[in-house]
């Protein structure tokens, strides 16, 4: 089982798939480029099938489910083969379901109060979302002194250009983004381009 999603790679690809047939070649390209952790968002009807295909067909990948917003999402994602869970925000029922699944999870936060509430519940690893809109690196840097025990995966508006500034922060384990899986490359099944972009992303933290 995955111990910490934050430590698998500097960048967590956030993937939206409309065709589950693309899941395995896409995952292979990301893994070959050095990004083994893959978040497949539950935004399309193909998402659960895509998670299952990657779990079964790409053993070197660590596939997880994103946009987990309900206990039902938790159950469906784990049943499909997800090895971690990511939510854009959290409620007590959702947090209870993620914890009960015994699957690593990153609940989403965007305020200091939400961070403190999770720390009270023993959760120290979180998704910071939407990162750029919610204050970006300046906000996370400000949190690091009073709340050093909290670690984050910032996601939302992050690009290859700004990712290094996030990764330089002591309370950031990895960043989430989709720039290495551009929609046009997926549509064209240009897996070589995905692998190249993944390799560049994997090298952002030297």
Annotated active-site residue 39? The verdict is yes
Structure letter (DSSP) for residue 125: E
Residues 121-155, buried b or exposed e (16+ Cβ, 10 A)?
eebebbbbbbbbebbbbebbbebeeeeeebbbbbb
Q: Which of 39, 141, 189, 200 is catalytic?
A: 39
Taking a C-beta distance cutoff of 8 angstroms, is the pair 30, 38 a contact? yes
Q: Are 11 and 174 in contact (CB under 8 A)?
A: yes
Q: Tell me whether residue 127 is one of the annotated catalytic residues.
A: yes
Q: Which of the residues 102, 114, 127, 195 is marked catalytic? A: 127
Question: Which residues are known to be catalytic?
Answer: 39, 127
């Amino acid at each position: 089982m995955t111990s910490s999603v934050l430590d698998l790679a500097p960048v967590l690809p956030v993937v939206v798939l409309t065709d589950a047939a693309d899941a395995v070649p896409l995952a292979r390209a990301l893994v070959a480029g050095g990004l083994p952790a893959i978040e497949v968002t539950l935004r399309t009807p193909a998402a659960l099938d895509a998670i299952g295909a990657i779990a079964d067909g790409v053993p070197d990948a660590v596939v997880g489910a994103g946009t987990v917003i309900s206990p039902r999402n938790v159950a469906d994602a784990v049943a499909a083969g997800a090895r971690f869970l990511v939510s854009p925000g959290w409620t007590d029922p959702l947090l209870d379901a993620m914890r009960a699944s015994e699957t690593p999870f990153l609940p989403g936060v965007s305020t200091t109060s939400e961070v403190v509430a999770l720390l009270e519940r023993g959760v120290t690893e979180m998704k910071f979302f939407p990162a750029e809109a919610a204050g970006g690196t300046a906000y996370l840097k400000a949190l690091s002194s009073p709340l050093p025990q909290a670690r984050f995966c910032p996601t939302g508006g992050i690009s290859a250009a700004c990712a290094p500034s996030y990764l330089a922060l002591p309370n950031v384990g990895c960043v989430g983004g989709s720039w290495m899986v551009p929609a046009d490359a997926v549509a064209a099944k240009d897996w070589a381009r995905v692998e190249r972009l993944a390799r560049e992303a994997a090298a952002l933290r030297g």
